[in-house]
């Protein structure tokens, strides 16, 4: 598989621009917390010859491909098989205490979408798997087979923001009583048939889109992992260090927005006439709201269409 042909890094130049001030000195360390196939990492290593990179991914296939792609950089690269909530341990195991830059490119990767047998894409029939780490965990098929109607409805509402969550949950429970749902194509057909024709005409997206998103988030515990990860990632940054996060759905972006906003506000009690140094914000925001991909990039790389980018810089140590 030729990784450059199947992977176009999203917002590559903007990520480099935001991280550059923290990475321009020799000995800088950057963490690519969502290594994928190594497109962002390759660019960072090429642009900043004094940088060491620590790359994390839960997907062993991604690490294998990234390892081949980044092999010309030799010992400047350390790749670690871990979910990104293991970022603090991974960095410590690499002999590093603080880092200068961190990049998160959240959500499902190009590799996972393009490999049909992973079951992430509702446009391709495949086993209902959806695990980012295929060495461990519960599959989407197991969730569809075992969750109660109430729990299915809950994850469709919470993680998919699906208005027809109840209808879809009932349809799944009814269908599985007759035969197990083990393939993505079977689930797609069921969801389409359970969607009223009027709703299908009104909706801009596929009826299965939000349910598949919800199942993927549940399988991989994506929001829980992200919520655990963000405080550790911020703590790893040295003063002057920068973090860039790209999200692809609103639940992730809201979480990142909240964490960044909390880190960038004063902790001084209201009414204090002068802000004491220990109450000053630890971070400053580098983006005004969430940045979007340009129309040109969206046309060139459709997977950049939903991206929301936020970035922050550490400006002082914790008290």
Q: Dump pLDDT digits (tens) for 107-153.
A: 876 666 666 667 778 888 999 999 988 888 899 999 999 999 999 99
Bridge partner list, 183: 127
Per-residue pLDDT for 172 more than 70? yes
| 57 is an annotated ligand-binding site residue | yes
Instruction: Provide, rounded to the nearest whole percent, the portion of the chain with pLDDT above 90.
Output: 78
User: pLDDT (tens digit, 9 = 90+) per residue, 55-93?
Assistant: 999 999 999 999 999 999 999 999 999 999 999 999 999
| 59 is an annotated ligand-binding site residue | no
CB 131 within 8 A of CB 115: no
User: Hey, what CATH class is 3-105+222-314 in?
Assistant: alpha beta
Which residues neighbour 196 within 8 Å (Cβ) at sequence distance 6 or greater? Answer: none
HSE-CB of 186 using CA atoms within 13 angstroms: 17
Per-residue pLDDT for 166 more than 60? yes
| 40 is an annotated ligand-binding site residue | yes
Range with the lowest mean pLDDT among 21-30, 57-66, 176-185, 276-285?
Answer: 276-285
| 150 is an annotated ligand-binding site residue | no
CB 297 within 8 A of CB 304: yes
> Three-class SS of residue 284?
strand
> Three-class SS of residue 54?
strand
- The domains of the chain are located at 3-105+222-314, 118-220
* Residue bearing the bigger pLDDT, 5 or 182: 182
Report pLDDT for 132: 87
Quick one: 118-220 is in which CATH superfamily?
Putative methyltransferase TM0872, insert domain (1.10.150.170)
| 129 is an annotated ligand-binding site residue | no
| 112 is an annotated ligand-binding site residue | yes
Report pLDDT for 309: 98
Place 2 in a pLDDT band, splitting at 50, 70 and 90: very low
Report pLDDT for 114: 62
State how far the Cα of 34 lies from the Cα of 18, in Å rounded to an integer: 17
Mean residue pLDDT of the chain comes to: 91
Report pLDDT for 107: 80
Tell me whether strands 283-285 and 77-81 are parallel, antiparallel or unpaired.
unpaired
Per-residue pLDDT for 281 more than 50? yes
| 232 is an annotated ligand-binding site residue | no
CB 15 within 8 A of CB 36: no
State how far the Cα of 304 lies from the Cα of 315, in Å rounded to an integer: 30
Bridge partner list, 101: 30, 242
């Amino acid at each position: 598989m030729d990784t450059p042909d199947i992977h176009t890094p999203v917002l590559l130049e903007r990520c480099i621009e935001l991280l550059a001030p923290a990475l321009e000195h020799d000995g800088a360390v950057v963490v690519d917390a969502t290594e994928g196939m190594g497109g962002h990492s390759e660019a960072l290593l090429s642009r900043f010859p004094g940088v060491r990179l620590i790359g994390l991914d839960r997907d062993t296939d991604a690490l294998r491909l990234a390892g081949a792609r980044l092999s010309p950089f030799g010992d400047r690269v350390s790749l670690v098989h871990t979910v990104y909530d293991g970022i603090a341990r991974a960095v410590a195991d690499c002999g590093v205490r603080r880092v200068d830059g961190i990049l998160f490119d959240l959500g499902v990767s190009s590799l996972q979408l393009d490999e049909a047998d992973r079951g992430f894409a509702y446009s391709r029939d495949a086993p209902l798997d959806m695990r980012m780490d295929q060495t461990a965990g519960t599959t989407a098929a197991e969730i569809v087979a075992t969750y109660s109607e109430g729990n299915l409805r809950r994850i469709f509402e919470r993680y998919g923001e699906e208005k027809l969550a109840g209808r879809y949950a009932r349809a799944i429970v009814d269908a599985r009583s007759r035969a197990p749902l083990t393939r993505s194509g079977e689930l797609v057909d069921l969801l389409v048939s359970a969607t009223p024709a009027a709703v299908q005409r009104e909706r801009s997206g596929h009826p299965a889109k939000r349910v598949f998103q919800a199942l993927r988030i549940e399988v991989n515990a994506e929001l829980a992992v992200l919520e655990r990860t963000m405080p550790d990632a911020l703590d790893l940054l040295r003063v002057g260090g920068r973090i860039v996060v790209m999200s692809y759905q609103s639940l992730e972006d809201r979480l990142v927005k909240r964490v960044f906003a909390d880190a960038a506000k004063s902790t001084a009690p209201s009414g204090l006439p002068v802000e004491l140094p220990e109450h000053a914000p630890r971070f400053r925001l580098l983006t005004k709201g969430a940045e979007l991909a340009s129309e040109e990039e969206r046309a060139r790389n459709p997977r950049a269409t939903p991206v929301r980018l936020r970035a922050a810089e550490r400006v002082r140590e914790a008290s």
